[in-house]
Structure 1
Amino acid sequence: MSTAYDDYPGRQTGPLAFVRRLWQSVAFRLALGYGVSVVLFMMVLLSVLYVQTIGVLQNRIDRQLVSASHRMVSHFEAYGPERLADDITETLTDGVNSDTEVYLLATAAGKKMAGNIAVSRDLLKPTFGIVEKQVLRDGRISYSRFRTELLADGSVLLVGRDMRDQKDLEQLVGNALMAAAVVSVLLAIIGAIVFRDQLESRVGAIRRTAAQIEAGDLTQRIPVSGKDDEFARLSHDINLMLDRIEILMDGVRHVSNTIAHNLRTPLSRIRAKLEVASRPGTDPAQVAQATTFAIREIEELTIVFDKLLQIAEAESGARRQAFQPVSLNDIVADVVELYEPVAEEKGVELRVRMDEDVMAAGDKDLLASAVANLLDNAIKYAGSPARVTVSTQRESDTVSLVVQDNGPGIQAIERSKVGTRFFRLNRRVPGYGLGLASVTAIASLHNASLDLDDAGPGLVARITLPRLGKMTKR
């Protein structure tokens, strides 16, 4: 029987190896344990049924024997031993239960007066209650259940019943219960094997996909069946995780390539300046100029790395645990106060509009950084006369941070790219192409969305967050 693990290298074959693999399977052991529990329950239930069935039949027989014994004793007391002997003979020949009835009437000396069983010494002793013994009935051995009474004249009366039919019934019921137990055990084992194969086939698909991904093929995904069961939902969740991992890995490769490309140019400029300054006889003014240039370039690179570290920290989700209730109005007020001198210097009219009670759960510093990035871009690209509006808005379930300018805006085809690290629409404007990438990462950390829409003219950048108390874990 093949399973999802038949492709193991060095796999042993043979019955013993198959049994060993079965026992090593957690699925098989769980299913077998469940099956054994069911079988034990059935065995207990069938045993109770057997005891109750046989017990009811035996109790009925005992009641019949007691009733017949009392009737015979009453007959003896009323009519004497001769009439009792005639009554026994008539009962044995009336054709009613004659094949199972057992009677014996013997004198005190042991002489048989009537009945269908042979007299023996142990049968002449009175019994306490009802007993079962082997007797010689009509010339053959009979396993009978009987009651012995000592009559007033010393004679002995034995009233019983042949238990051959009862024993046959007990054996039949016992065999049926035993067969049911054997079938139950076999079904439990077969069910455990089938359950194990079904489970391993589903787990095997996950394992094979994991092996292909481990080999470097990040495009592989787990096949999802049309059934809405636990494995289908698990496969769907794992595929979503793999999609996210693939996106992150592509991002890492892109960032690595871009960083290497962007570092090469400033480092080459720094090296060229320092090489010129290090030549013998170089004018001290040139040395000082080269040193100042190198320091400025290194500071620019430090800013780039700081932004990359902030993006990485936001994407990791490490700061989500420190979220606290924050007022978006306070954040906007602080950022606007910081940028008012910059806007005034560049001749940008800076407007602020805020709704009341705009609260969210988040990291105040990160949200302030996101607003600052949006406001910085708006001031850079604002039109003429330049106007930038920063506002907060409150809806029933959400709150928003909105920055709007009257600049050229962003074409719809380019909006999906502006959140990519180092992507710049206009390279004539100073920048590193990390501002909107940082905003996107911060919005994702807060379970928020970043939307860029046309303001006609200009651009509306909107960060929409869940209202305080509406935050959902991602």
Structure 2
Amino acid sequence: MSFGRITKLPHTLAFRLTLWYTIVFILSAAIAFALFYILIVRIFDQRTDADLLTAANRLNQIYLLEGSQMLQDAALLQAQAAGEQKMFFRLFYPSGVFFASSNLSYWRDIGIDRAAVDAVLEDGLPYRYVTQPLPGQSYEARVVYMRIGNAIMLQLGYSLESESRLLMTFGRTFLMTMAVLLLIAVGVGWFMARRALSGVASVTHTAQRISGNDLDTRVPLEHRHDEIDQLAVTFNQMLDRIQLLVGGIRQMNDNIAHDLRSPITRIRGLAEVTLTGDTGIAEYSHMAASTIEECDRLLQMINTMLTISRTEAGVDHKTFQTVDLAAIVRDACGLFQPLCEDKNIELQCDAPDACLISGNEALLQRLVANLIDNAIKYTPVQGWVRVGVEHRGAYVQTRVQDSGAGILPEDCERVFERFFRGDQSRSQSGAGLGLSLALAIARAHGGEIALQSQPGTGSTFAVKIPATADSIQTP
């Protein structure tokens, strides 16, 4: 391969297809490895935790049935049977005073995790797992803390050395396998790209021959009924039309020449006596075809973003009409009632009187629905959501209150930002645009949304929108 062809290689479609194929293959393999790695780690953790818990429960039963001396003997025997570098135990009082342990020469750098001890003693947990590092080692230890009886704490640990080495071996094997598969992927990708583009090369060669005035040449069909065959058929059909048009132009030129020959001969014969002239006719025609590429993307997030942008830019007040916000609230509560029943959430609706405002009914329905949906989403089972609407002077106020987890104070000012999602809402579905849209709709109607929330006490969203002049209630 010449140097010129090598320099042109990165610009070829075959090279780019091979590169993309290789990248997709490597990413897919890496994702598969990561998922498999996570699965193996989880299986190891579950097995280790189960073994630790079984051993701890066995020691607890021995203590309850036979006393502390048998507990020490059984724990020591169990640690020795597993191997002093594989398992260890400590027995200590809640004050931190030790009274029994296995051989800790290998485990002396592992102390007591006071947070785990407090979780068992003060929070009432039956046991607590922690993973503690081993200084100077590339692996860790899995430790369980459990109350034995009423006055003894057990620290039982298990070395993760064998699991860590197995995972390291798995990682090295994956890297070596990927190196081999990478070469195979490049070769297969290049072969597939060249084979797929062979039809394109035929079209190119045919087009080059046509430039030499050979309109009878056609692209050979592979009869694979794929996109390349469709391209070849379309190209051949275009050549048929061009050949037909060129043939028509040639026939027209022949007819013009034949019809003009006789009178020109006569005129020339008459003019030769006095003047000699020369006449010529030239005409050239060129046709071109273009392909129109259509792109249509209908994603809900983009539509919502466009709705927010249009709403923030200003809603056409010609679409405003007198709207009963209380009726919208009642309809929305009726719509969400089945969902609340499924989630065992009590939905209370307080919208007895008509509350008239001027606005776009469809946008107001979306505002109320977003707030109610947001409240239901973050309310736990057996919680409640209260929705109410009432006159407040020159405004109509809609309140949506829930008994959910609440919002952190530092997040309250950011919940209306686009795509913002607090740590407590990461597990919920959504893109973080619902409250942004609600605020945009409220402001488009001359209103505002206020938020009151504390962690653990729920949240209250209050929407104030100016009431119509004839519905303003004076105190």
Larger Rg: 1
Q: Which of the five TM-score ranges fits, normalised by the shorter chain?
A: 0.3 to 0.5
